[in-house]
Amino acid sequence: AWAYVGVQDELFQAPEAELRYTQTDHGLVLVYSVDLSPKAPYGAWRVDVDASSGQILSVKDLRVNEKAIPIPQSFGSPVKTIARVPAFEKWQKKFKADEVPGETKNGNAAIFDPDPKTEMNNDSITDKSPASAFESAYVQRVLPDLSLSNGIYKLSGPWVKIIDFDPPTAAPTTTKDGKWSFTRGQGGFTDAMTYFHVDQSQRYIQSLGFKDDSGIQYKSIEVDADGANGDDNSYFMPSTNRLAFGHGCVDDNEDSDVILHEYGHAIHYSINSSWSGGDSGAMGEGFGDYWAASYSYSTPKGRTFQVDRVYNWDAGNCWAGRGMDATSSMYNHSTSYSAHSSISGGRQSDELWSTPLFQAHKALIALDVPREEIDTIVLEAQFGLGSMLKMRDMAQSIVDTARRLYPEGPHA
């Protein structure tokens, strides 16, 4: 597996290997599933190796990416690799030290909430606009429960911890007064953006009743706010329960939609660890878009600016983004919809799921149904379903859950 991937740089995740059976066209085969996460070729690669013959059976990227990422064409080609044992030892040395606990105190930061275009109702600004064009987009927000040790505030709290595990190397920002007074383009700004939006999303989930034994992502999730190899991409890693945000083009975590979309993946994997197969790829992406939109729509200006678009700020600069208004697209139950796949009308499979969720959300809000009740239904409906889910199955679960939780309301 090491040679097939052609590992040429240090690891950013722990290497893993598991002996298990996998289904192939020729029946069950005993394989070694080897997980390698090198900086080059960059990715989190799972390589299945036939335990008997040593043949490479499959390779895939374990990251749940914001955008589709192809397998490098170099895989399987003879290249010079770095030595395995020193690479393992270097990774262990880097991550074996535990953070010394301290007290917690609130801090504050200037951030975008949800994004500069929405806040200013201005679609003309771009990534290359002067700093002065963004002055009225910044808002002050509290950063709850920051770690304070030896007079240093860190963006490390009960529900999110900003760390550096993914290339490029960039130590998380700290302050001596708990104030993150940074602007876009500075690492401290996206660090604070990420901390605030993940933290508030988790606290919102808990306010719906999902806490303690029934909690969803009821832990401090580790996040690299300047990772993803610096690419125009962000991802969730199910095996390590980590998030990473890239700074290619617009820094992804300047837009709360991107942050909450990726946290959405962490949410549904926390609810259903068997999330795979069927339409789970498209539904996972669609749910992430919905989760981001639910928040944006709840903000003071979120109901007036490009309501049916997600990634209002991140998209439009270097990629098209997605909508939640694909009402003319038709679902085919006999088709399996993977993430980011093209469908008719120039839309994506992800929009087949985000559209009915978000359009129903808006319709119920118009009937004075609280956002909290709608999101409770969407979250509760994901419990106890297992793998190989189709959109029809999940839709039925949502309707059944709405009828069970709010039998007298218009929710279903």
**Whole-model pTM?**
0.88
Tell me the domain boundaries of the chain. 1-96, 102-259, 279-405
pLDDT in tens, 266-291: 999 999 999 999 999 999 999 999 99
Instruction: Classify burial at 361, counting beta carbons within 10 Å of its beta carbon; exposed 0-12, middle 13-18, buried 19 or more.
Output: buried
The CATH architecture of the domain made up of 102-259 is: Roll (3.10)
pLDDT in tens, 191-213: 999 999 999 999 999 999 999 99
pLDDT in tens, 361-405: 999 999 999 999 999 999 999 999 999 999 999 999 999 999 999
Contact call for residues 145 and 106 (beta carbons, < 8 A): yes
Going by C-beta distance under 8 Å and a sequence separation of 6 or more, which residues neighbour residue 285?
A: 261, 339, 340, 348, 349, 350, 353, 354
The average pLDDT across 92-108 equals 71
Segment among 51-65, 94-108, 371-385 with least mean pLDDT: 94-108
CATH for 1-96 is: 3.10.450
- Using CA atoms, how far apart are residues 224 and 153, in angstroms rounded to an integer? 17
Cα dihedral sign, 41-251-93-266: negative
CATH class of 279-405: mainly alpha
> What is the rounded end-to-end Cα distance, in angstroms, of the chain?
50
